[in-house]
Structure 1
């Protein structure tokens, strides 16, 4: 096990201030977002990797709280097939931490050419993505050096929360202030449960990570982090999809990691899944979910009690900490996973 402090761990700790800066920068842009909203009806997200997981959060948030249909785009429709679509009533939201991923830039250009209005969510203030969008939501994460995205991912969630407010979500903007406070609490909390989860995952080859609704994005991102930095065969799924067959992989050799807000309409189903996984002999590790999920889990990591719509920004932090600790426990460098670069180019 390596003992040096990783860049990834330092960047996880920078998230409270990164979120505060991002909220301060972006909340004044709600009027500009509102103006785009008056011209459009539906939302198309354009993203890859961690940004795609952020888009899953954005999709649920908009559909649940603004009444707008929101969907994940398939960039290959534009970049490989060269298809033409009528996007005249669409708000295309392109998400890229660098703003330099050519596929995302090209797809946003294609969407605009098809009649869409455009929003960029990026940490690259001077990037092509920011410069060409109708409205640029530039996050203030600061430079991110570790390859696994932590603070850039979470500030993307922050930007999408502001987007929802600008598009008419009847939510309290003041509740955003709870997010950085909650992360500070998580970073300062005892780590006994997290360390035990790390030890119990050292010898496993695969894991199931699940959540539903607004927490589904967290399950996907947690699975991606474990694959990137720990080389774990981690499967991130909605628990509804998990029950449609893949639940068969859950056994004593395959831990089940469950993500849930402290309350909300998906919590009961998450608790039921925990009970089913335990009955199959799977070690169950709960993240969030309040007392109900903790009682149904073998080990649990509490998350501050915040409203469901902002909880993914808090929920992802213990998963990031788990990834960083597990990577070092396995002898890997979490900052530079093999075969990966900070900016990935696809076509």
Structure 2
């Protein structure tokens, strides 16, 4: 049986259904303002670091696949260190920061505006420096997050980026699916993650892989495992793993595969699980099809949602697993060693 966790991280994971409902109620009415801001522009540039960068990867897929809008991830150093001047007059820049106070992201947003971009901020703090300087501030409603690892703020960021994609697409095709997310998250919270945490605690070598819409979820899972459990973990896209690193996967490796239950990339993850088994690795699966679950040594169920919004809820069992792993290793998941809630990469002046 799963034991009950009393950490702040566990409490904030459990708050996510309500955080999701509040965020959607608050942000969906902003779609008209987003459309107006994007008028006469043709592309989106996403600015983020850390967990926010993983949320931005999801946003990029949504914008390109569902909205038909070219999107990319900015390199903040282009602005803050190289001071390059780009023509961004055809660009909407979306800056993502949980605190809205990371100096590098604030400075990059200011740089983007000086280059002609329209700017949107996504943060969890009303009146933050990032929000105050944006043309339109999207403030998520996750509530104060005390634990250092981002859980409910990360999920809320993905919802905000989905609202942006829904607003800028040819039709509001995501709203109905987004409305199903809070209940889907709630349905995942009672899952027993002890077997997954045990499997992770028994190995020193872990790789994490996902593909398509779920790439960001895979990278976030790897990042959270490193931050919270102090284990070196490599996160790869399916394609990057296939292009070489898979050669070092073998006995003693646990592969965490984050899979979709629907869509064109569901079957390739089944094939990847089979390949990794042939190489001697064990497989811990998150989500995916029933066939994928059968191929896994340990499996955690994902949400029953369309592929486009599945990643918002898919991170939840990973968060639960990682919190439990930290406790099993004798670590404090609320205050990982060497981390702070607001991360400053370096001094730019």
Fold shared, TM-score > 0.5 on shorter chain? yes
Counterpart position of 1:41: 42
SS at match of 1:188: coil
Q: Distance in 2 between matches of 1:79 and 1:62?
A: 26
Unmatched runs of 5 consecutive residues or more in structure 2 = none
Counterpart position of 2:161: 160
Counterpart position of 2:267: 268
Counterpart position of 1:140: 141
Counterpart position of 2:74: 73
Q: Distance in 1 between matches of 2:290 and 2:179?
A: 24
Provide the aligned length of Structure 1 versus Structure 2.
343
Counterpart position of 1:281: 280
**Aligned in 2, Cα 1:58/1:82: closer, same or farther, shift over 3 Å?**
same
Superposed counterparts of 1:168-207, under 5 Å? 168=169, 170=171, 171-189=173-191, 191=192, 194-207=193-206
CA contact (8 A) 1:62 1:169 kept: no
CA contact (8 A) 1:22 1:140 kept: yes
CA contact (8 A) 1:3 1:328 kept: no
Counterpart position of 1:302: 301
Counterpart position of 1:86: 87
SS at match of 2:264: coil
CA contact (8 A) 2:224 2:322 kept: yes
Q: Distance in 1 between matches of 2:52 and 2:170?
A: 22
> Cα distance, 1:328 vs. partner?
0.3
SS at match of 1:136: strand
Q: Write out per-residue CA displacement over residues 89-141 of structure 1, whole angstroms, 9 at most, x where no aligned residue.
A: 01100000000000000000000000000000000111011111111110000
TM-score (structure 2 length as normaliser): 0.96
TM-score (structure 1 length as normaliser): 0.97
CA contact (8 A) 2:94 2:121 kept: yes
Superposed counterparts of 1:112-151, under 5 Å? 112-151=113-152
Q: Distance in 2 between matches of 1:165 and 1:172?
A: 6
Counterpart position of 1:257: 256
CA contact (8 A) 1:34 1:168 kept: no
Counterpart position of 2:345: 346
Q: Distance in 1 between matches of 2:288 and 2:68?
A: 26
> Cα distance, 1:249 vs. partner?
2.4
Q: Distance in 1 between matches of 2:42 and 2:184?
A: 34
**Aligned in 2, Cα 1:216/1:296: closer, same or farther, shift over 3 Å?**
same
Q: Distance in 2 between matches of 1:326 and 1:155?
A: 24
Unmatched runs of 5 consecutive residues or more in structure 1 = none
CA contact (8 A) 1:229 1:334 kept: yes
Q: Distance in 1 between matches of 2:213 and 2:305?
A: 13
Quote the RMSD (CA, aligned, Å).
1.3
**Aligned in 2, Cα 1:261/1:3: closer, same or farther, shift over 3 Å?**
closer
SS at match of 2:280: coil
Greater CA drift, 164-173 or 90-99: 164-173
Superposed counterparts of 1:95-114, under 5 Å? 95-114=96-115
CA contact (8 A) 2:303 2:313 kept: yes
Q: Write out per-residue CA displacement over residues 290-321 of structure 1, whole angstroms, 9 at most, x where no aligned residue.
A: 20210221121111210111100111001000
Counterpart position of 2:29: 28
**Aligned in 2, Cα 1:65/1:174: closer, same or farther, shift over 3 Å?**
same
Q: Write out per-residue CA displacement over residues 219-263 of structure 1, whole angstroms, 9 at most, x where no aligned residue.
A: 000000000011121111110110000112211211111112211
